Amino acid sequence: MKIITIVLLLLFSLNSFSQFGSLKKFVTNKTKKTVTKKSEEHVEKQADKAINTAAIHLDTAFAELEAWEDEQFGFVKIKVDENFINPSEIMWQKLRFVTGEDMVYYDRPFNYEKKHKNPKHWNIDPDNKGTVEISDYGVGRMISCAGPGIISPKMKNNSEDYLSDNFTIEFDFLIQLNPFSKPIKLFLYDKVSQKGEGLSQPITISTTSVQYRDSIAKYPALMDNENMTGNWYRLSLSFNNGLMKVFLNEKEMVTYKDAGLNPTGMSLDYNAVPPINIKNLVIAQNPKTIYAQLQDQGKFTSLNIDYDIETERLTGISLSDLSKIAVILIKNPEMKMDIDVYFSKISDHEGTKELGQNKTKYINDILVSMGIEQEQINTVYKGKIMASEINPKSKLSEAVIFSMK
């Protein structure tokens, strides 16, 4: 039981390791200290057993672990000023997920796509019996999928394995609130182009649950948005050598360990009545904590910080990365950063510049409101950033780059 407790505590440590990275190393070292008279082989087995057993108990231990984490690692509770960021039922500071460092596929935003056309950078199963097109409901363009079908990101060669042993996948989806709404099935192989041997079990995703094989977690349904059509949700998946974690919004839903699991690609399988909507798909490799990226590379690039033209504030998901940056700066008052901000929401150059400058000011001001000193950051609007600098699959990016001085 002592081993299980140790692993439960470690699983939620925001500052001790990335979402996987050195988890096994930490668990093994702690286990060795607990069972010093046992053999190395036994320690390895005990560590694996402890990880799997801990995953089963995550829901009941969640509150206790958060309190432990705050005490051990001095997690800074920050103030969120809603003058700068959209209020949300989801307070994104708790999201224990970081996008991988190396982009494999990047498709956001969709302002370069034409409405009512097939998305340019996605493959559509030729047997689809429904429709897949770019739609715009007045809140930005997105992929709208109706009827039964399968789509996958368009790669240079989709038949080849385009996932490593250490990767992240994330995307936003909206399932309209309707008695006939059905879950999305995320397969860890490309069903349009790959055979996917041994990968027949999908991750089943709805607005109230996530399930993989015998692991399932429930999620409290959000209230309808003002248009009474539902809410956007963020699905985030981390994978490292058989250890998979799936997050829905700020909550860790599934932790599953299977050394034989070998993802080769991804596809979304659906039977959408009414249509589901998808946007902002990012596939990346080598996830590390933001602090580790700053220490190793001297910089961290966020793709999640965006300016909402409609509300003239930052989007809610922006809080995830900004709050982590704020915590790092507050806990390291001697640290200083250059923050380069890019914006490319609209095609009009002057309009883009004005809105980009607004985005820059809001990023600066919300960080200061969270408790960091103005002298610690130099925030500058840099204009548009073309996709060739990040990923040629997408034309434009909303990148914000944090560089240590």
- The predicted structure's pLDDT at residue 65: 47
Summarize the confidence of residues 139-159 as an average pLDDT.
89
- Cα(92)–Cα(324) distance, integer angstroms: 10
Rounded to a whole number, what is the largest CA-CA distance in the chain?
70
Q: What are the CA-CA distances from residue 190 to residues 55, 123, 241 (Å)? A: 28, 10, 19
Band the pLDDT of 390: cuts 50, 70, 90. very low
Class for domain 99-285, per CATH? mainly beta
Summarize the confidence of residues 333-341 as an average pLDDT.
95
Greater confidence (262 vs 22) lies with 262
Summarize the confidence of residues 160-171 as an average pLDDT.
93
- Cα(127)–Cα(149) distance, integer angstroms: 7
- The predicted structure's pLDDT at residue 12: 36
Query: Residue 296 pLDDT > 60, yes or no?
Result: yes
Q: What are phi and psi of 250, to 5 degrees?
A: -95, 0
Alpha-helical segments (H) within 185-275: none
Band the pLDDT of 6: cuts 50, 70, 90. very low
The pTM (predicted TM-score) of the whole model is 0.78
- The predicted structure's pLDDT at residue 377: 97
Class for domain 290-404, per CATH? alpha beta
Summarize the confidence of residues 300-321 as an average pLDDT.
88
| SS3 of 331-386 | HCCCCCEEEEEECCCCCCHHHHHHHHHHHHHHHHHHHHHCCCCHHHEEEEEEECCE
- Cα(103)–Cα(107) distance, integer angstroms: 11
Summarize the confidence of residues 200-209 as an average pLDDT.
91
* Residue ranges covered by each domain of the chain: 2-73, 99-285, 290-404
- Cα(94)–Cα(320) distance, integer angstroms: 7
